[in-house]
């Protein structure tokens, strides 16, 4: 009889669920998402110039986009309103293989306006957006 009782107790299905592994997996996933979420912020890719680099010769049919202090936008010395910038760039790059634009902006132009201009440039399908800067002045 004793052996029969032991066998019946062993044959019963385990009715308790062990939730410890589930909790461990959920905590690991939570930590992974908390770490990676700030890295997923979207932005505009900009190829910034290096401090010690050779100068760019902008006279070789390069497309230079200039923004002056009064928020005037000039595409190679031709004034263009911001609303037409996207369509003009798309028309120019329809026949070009090299989709590269150089941006030159006055230091007093608000950052938000420059971001709007860069956004329109990126929407036009520009692959590379270079920033034209002046070398720092020597303080002697």
Residue 43 has pLDDT above 60, yes or no: no
pLDDT of the residue at 137:
66
Question: Is residue 49 over pLDDT 50?
Answer: no
Query: Pick from 48, 44, 60: which is nearest to 103 by CA?
Result: 48
pLDDT, average across residues 80-92: 87
Collect all residues with Cβ–Cβ distance below 8 Å to 131 and sequence separation of at least 6. Answer: 46, 47, 48, 49, 102, 103, 104
pLDDT at 58: 45
Q: How confident is the model at residue 12 (pLDDT cuts 50, 70, 90)?
A: low
Pick the CATH number of 63-131 from 1.10.10.10, 3.40.50.2300, 3.30.420.270, 3.30.360.10: 3.30.420.270
d(CA 30, CA 117): 38
Weakest-pLDDT range from 33-47, 71-85, 103-117, 125-139? 33-47
pTM: 0.53
Write out the two tokens for 81.
Answer: 């309103």
Q: Domain-by-domain residue ranges, the chain?
A: 63-131
130: enclosing H helix or E strand: strand 128-131
Distance CA 126, CA 91 (A): 12
Confidence at 131, pLDDT banded by 50, 70, 90: confident
């Amino acid at each position: 009889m004793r052996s029969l009782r032991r066998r019946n107790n062993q044959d019963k299905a385990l009715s308790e669920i062990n939730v410890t592994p589930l909790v461990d997996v959920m905590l690991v996933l939570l930590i992974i998402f908390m770490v990676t979420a700030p890295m997923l912020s979207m932005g505009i890719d900009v190829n910034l110039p290096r401090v010690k680099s050779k100068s760019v010769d902008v006279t070789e049919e390069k497309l230079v986009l200039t923004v002056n202090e009064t928020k005037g936008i000039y595409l190679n010395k031709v004034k263009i309103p911001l609303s037409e910038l996207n369509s003009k760039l798309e028309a120019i790059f329809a026949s070009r293989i090299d989709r590269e634009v150089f941006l030159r902006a006055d230091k007093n132009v608000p950052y938000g306006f420059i971001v709007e201009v860069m956004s329109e440039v990126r929407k036009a399908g520009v692959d590379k957006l270079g920033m034209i800067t002046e070398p720092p002045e020597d303080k002697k």
